[in-house]
Structure 1
Amino acid sequence: MSVTAVANTPAKGGAQRVGRFELRAVLGRGAQATVWLGWDPKLQREVAVKVISADAGAEAIDEWLGEARATSALAHPGIVPVYEADQDGRAIFLVFERVDGPTLSEKLKGLGPMPAREAAELMREVLDALAFAHARGVVHRDLKPSNILVGSDGRARVMDFGIAAKLSEAHDGRIVGTPGYISPEAAGGQAPSPAMDVYAAGMMLGQLLLGAPMRPIPAGAEAALRQATEQDLVWPAGKTPVDDKLRTMVMRATSRAPEARYASAAEFRDALAKWLTPADAPPQVGGHGTLDFLMRRMRLHGDFPALSDSVTRIQRVTASESESLQALSSEILKDVALTQKLLRLVNTAQFRHVGAGEIATVSRATALIGFAGIRNMALSVVLLEHMKDQTHAQRMKELFLQALLTGTLTDQLSPTTREREEAFLGGMLSHLGRMMAEYYFPEEAAQVRARVSRSGLRDTGADAPDEARVAADVLGLSYDDLGQGVAQSWGLPDNMRRMMCVPLEDVPGRLVESPIERMRWRVRASGELVQILLDGDPALTDQRVLALGERYSRALDLKPEVFGSALKSARVNLSEMAVSLKIEPAAQAKVRRLLNPAPDAAPSRTGAKAGAVDATIVSRPLAAPAAPGVEAASDATMILPVAPPTHEQAEAMLSAGIADVTTTMARDSFKLNEVLKLILDTIHKGLGFDRVVFCLRDPKTGQLTGRIGLGHGADQMAKRFVVDARGPQPSDLFGAACLKGADTMIADGRSTTLGPRLPPWYRGAAAHSFMLLPMMLKGAPFALIYVDRHSTPLDFGERELTLLRTLRNQAVMAFKAAG
């Protein structure tokens, strides 16, 4: 579906609404949908609302559902996210992020050829979004300038996945696309493939460089399709001269044969990135290929993982209308991976060409990206908790603690407010090379540690070998050189890269005059303080810290005792961050020495007397009276009621579960049962439900019957669970909810007025409150998720409800993908 933009046309007849959203002005109007500037009174923010026409046919409705499903699974800064999808009476609507800026087609009107670097930068952003979608099995199929938004921040965003296709789905035989951008194989009716989007991206890049479409479009659909399938594209003669390499890229991407194009959107993106790299940028560091190899691994595996608790808190802050940019910046700074990803993003060419310049603080980066951009960035990262090798994940967490303490110390030793965030980043990023090596080259990093450990014993006075020399011997370059090479490839500012690079000479005996050089010495002093805690005798820590303070006092114009007080304060801060980030070092791990030492305390057992071993205490929700056939708990077991999780805890667990499901489904192949059990377990634990029952349609009877039960007595309930949703007149509340596809929450399941509407098998075991979450395909129910609580009411906010529905929708997507 195409939408022709109409600039801020006032809504007729006063304010209109769909759901809770106020429709304020028409932004675009197409044959079957209208896009409105909307207002969300609940979250107090502008949104874009696409309302499907009331007389739209079934095919348009399917496209709407496809757009909602496809886009909801694509959390990427370059893809306009879907906030909600719902129906209000006959009005079916989608709610998107409001992007302040024109479409690319509007931007190109009267512009003429776009500068080559600007065109390449913009298309690199588009291809990055496409590569993300392709990796998750989604092909856009209708890429064109009117489906690209260019925000006021200069970033390109891909939108309108209305006719997107899942690679896992059978081809429906339709020919979809727009003349001038449709690929030859799409015009010939072949099954969707990523190569179709590569072709369209090539046509768009050529149009940006030429200031006009690559070739005239003949009148009539049949003629346009014949042109695409039968005629090779020829570079237009007499047009504006274009760089030979860029012209070659366009012609390769638009080859009539798919196998002659770039193998993927990611390969096309990387080719543009290579062209954009300044000619004087060194291809590798130290004369070795280690950096190139690292960059290839990074492209394959992505940035190293973040902590799920950090992502959860950032999602909460970005969803709030009362939190400040400073609060969001503070949350980002607590996570090393997110900080690095953000700085990398904002120092790319796409921000420089809109006048943003070099960005050296997270505060400024946050202001530039905005809450929605930060939210999408956080959702796009892999989580440490989801790494298969948890020993490796634990090692990464320990390195994060070292980096955070170094950054915090550098901050503590910096006297001026203006410098302090830059100081924190300089200290944190001084560990970049070490962390990169640990994540991408874990075997080599372990070899470096082992050789350093074997070669010297500090308690006998012998110095351990220089880590830089050992790393250079094992990797081909030192950790500092590795970090510098990565920082340079990311485009981080020169001053930040200089701060990361600690001085190697002796500490000066006089004040360091240059501010940037003084910062480098603060970073080095902070790193040495961390090493004192890690490698020194704890009994000698105060003595060694004072000696370090005396060595650095003149160079940094600080009193020697300041270093000791800074270390104490930084350790307290780190301990608090470790708790909030849920990083718990192993009992014998050296990194535990970095945390603030807790006062000695005698071990205790909460709620139990010493020596009381005659009863087992099991923490679980209080059970309802046992239904017939359900065994009661043993007398030797005390069942204690557990309060449902707090809203904050619920959001954290649900968000982490959604990320885990997304990661699992992104694999080339996944097991449906594995995904389904993961979703149900997340729902069960995330909102503290007593029972969760999953029902599936029986192919013989057409009824929904219980298949999986989680929680006390849920297995027995699943055996009795039957819902007749065959229609047209449902016999009970369960059947009505399923036929309508309506999520239904019942506050008092034991109400006498409700009783007659409940299924007979359920009336004797009705819960205090329960909820029905139907799962629909092609307008018909095929499954149902039932949840309940026995002794407490269901009580969760809009955010938790949205996350719950997202999990349900992921289950629907899993069934569709599994065929």
Structure 2
Amino acid sequence: MSAEQSPVSPRPSGTAGVEQLPQLGRFRLLKKLGEGAQATVWLAHDPRLDREVALKVLRPGTDPGSVDEWLHEARAVSRLTHPFIVPIFEADTQGGQSYMVFEYVPGGTLVDLMRRQGKLDARAAVELCMDVLDGLHAAHQAGVVHRDLKPSNILIDAKGRARVMDFGIAGRVAVSSGGGTVSPALRSERVVGTPGYLSPEAAAGMAPSPQMDVFAASILLVEMLSGRRLNYDPDPWRAVQRVQGEQFIVPGDLGADVDDALRAIIQRGLARDPEQRWLDAHLMHDALAEWLNPTEDAPAAGEASGEGAALEFLLRRMRHQGDFPAMSNAVSRIQRLTLSEKESLSSLSNEILKDVALTQKLLRLVNTVQYSQAGAGGITTISRAVALVGFAGIRNLALSLILLERMENKAHAQQLREEFLRSLMAASLARELSAGERDSEEAFLCAMFHNLGRSLTEFYFPEEARQIRRITRPERGPLLVKDAPAPVPEWIASARILGMSYDQLGIGVARQWGLPESLQLSMRRPEGEPPLRQISNPDERQRWLAHAANDVADVILRTEPAQAHSRVNAMAQRYARCLGVSAEAFGKAADQARLRLAQMTAVMDLALPQNSPALRLLAPLTPTPDDSLSALQLQATQVLESTEHLSHQQQIRERAVETLAAGIQDVSNAMVENFKLNEVLRMILESIYRALGFRRVVFCLRDPKLDQLTGRFGLGQDVESVVTCFKIALQPSPGKQADLFEAVCQRGVDTLIADAKASKIADRLPPWYCGPVAANSFLLLPLALRGKTFALIYADKAKAGGLDLGEKELSLLRTLRNQAVMAFKQTA
């Protein structure tokens, strides 16, 4: 029970005065248990009560002010009584020696346990962490924060329980100022605690708070599950700097018994922002308890849906809202009726007729032009609507309206309408892109529920939803501002705030509602880039279709109408191949979905204020007057070759792919270390230059004073004289058509020019390009942060048609470009 608790060799005689003492006050010293920087811990005998105790003796020569503070905190901690806290019996000074008396607990520390066993299984680790959290919560309730939680300060008693000890540097709970920040008067002037277990705010010297201990407990749990330190560095100061500047992520190799639900609980505890962590140790303890022992009506933790303690916790909160059970019952009944082979047309009609408002809106919808083929304009009964439109079509409309009706009574209705219309736009697009009538209705439902977790969070947890939006879409500011936060992927942000990802929440609720397995599968977020070939598996295609439709709806919702067409066109290029549709058909489907959404919005009487971003979903997706580049977006070059030439060409492609892949690996290795930005950028350019035999490769970067991209450096023929020619405006001049380079950078679209002499291209080339730079084919790869281009990679060849790029090369080129963006983010 020392500051370090690791047994060490005794100090030379005379270096610690207490080692020469057989007795301190009434306590007889028996043997040394451990030694730390501040104190030595002895096993001692207390003759007054005839018991063995642990005696922690502060080193002589310690500053008197520190001694007084130490004793004051010891007396405060001595009032803590809890089964998972090692109690302090007393604290005093005898003969110039200050000491604390603890209960003696036979057994080793958590350090000793992990040395013997290595990493612990999930159940054992969680049970020990729960003991620790229990003890911490009791301390926090008494106003005491530990501030030095680590494995050597956790004793494992004879019953296998974890007991927290050594509150020797404990501090009183901080009181925040009204704005949610700690006032300067409450800041500590020094960092208190052990590097590697400090929270970001502790590393910054902030006043003590319970969230500091929650962070340390989460670090401990990761260490128990992995068998290794999460934040270790031989230089302690680097560990302190790391926790201040980096978001720790739960390692991916914690074993099969660590499921997504447990990972989400831990990830929330590791949040850099204290407000995004578990608010206290008790909440994290409860989440772990429910993961460990799920309630009887909840599926076992570890199932593919990710349900567990966090899901049940959120469901309990939603059940307290009167409309959630009603909505759940309505969705479940309608879904059951439409899937049942025994139920009749009248059963579904009767279910809908129970809700007068639902009936009226549904009849208005089926009488729109959208359903003209089914007899629009003359449908006056639900029974007739079901007979003409079909079970699946009526089900989808009814489920959409149920979500809307429950939403309308909320105080934050405007945000909810935006989310509802975004989901409806995605659903309409998915239906337009589907091949057959039956598939189209399933596609509609899959896309509408694809982001159900996000929608439910907006409905029932608006504050948490705002926090997630804040870290996934940080406020825009000047490019490359040092303190600007980098956006966080939504699945990580939602897991951090809610304790589980949006996907997991949505799938868990969908399962409760009895929605089909195929729909639940479509709600899972696909990993990585879209496949390069058309997807043949119907369920997998449905999943990618739902994902693509929601991505497009998100882009339209967050993009100004003038730029929406080019952004959607770029999305079409990304998804068209795997879905088996042309990019042109994708764009037409998006515009048709918009038209239908506008009709539905009018029928449902959805009033949107003039400043609502949802109005973008209703705006026409038409190209701007100078948009003549849609056919030039980066695609694989289609080249007809003779059979004899194919083998040689294939070898060239394979060598190019190998060189690009090797370059990506080299850049990845460099970025793990303390890299220099210019060195990484030169590595990226060299990989592109060598792999594909370009004549020149040039890197351009934004000049903030001129708001234009200028050439900075490059490789290849006459590059020194060519680099200075590049001057690309990032903002269009009033009344002037953007040249080709300006248009590409303003839209952030990867572009390949196969023949620069083609009239449509030559007319758009800027004057500066027609001099020393001029090439007959070239490639443009813009680099963007928060939707704005800040840099450009240019590569050219002298011969028209010289850029023969396959899908693999294109994918690897994009990866190198993305590594360049990441390098800027890390250095910023």
| Superposed pair shares fold, TM > 0.5 | no
Who wins on radius of gyration, i.e. which is larger? 2
TM-score range, shorter chain: 0.3 to 0.5
TM-score by length of 2: 0.33
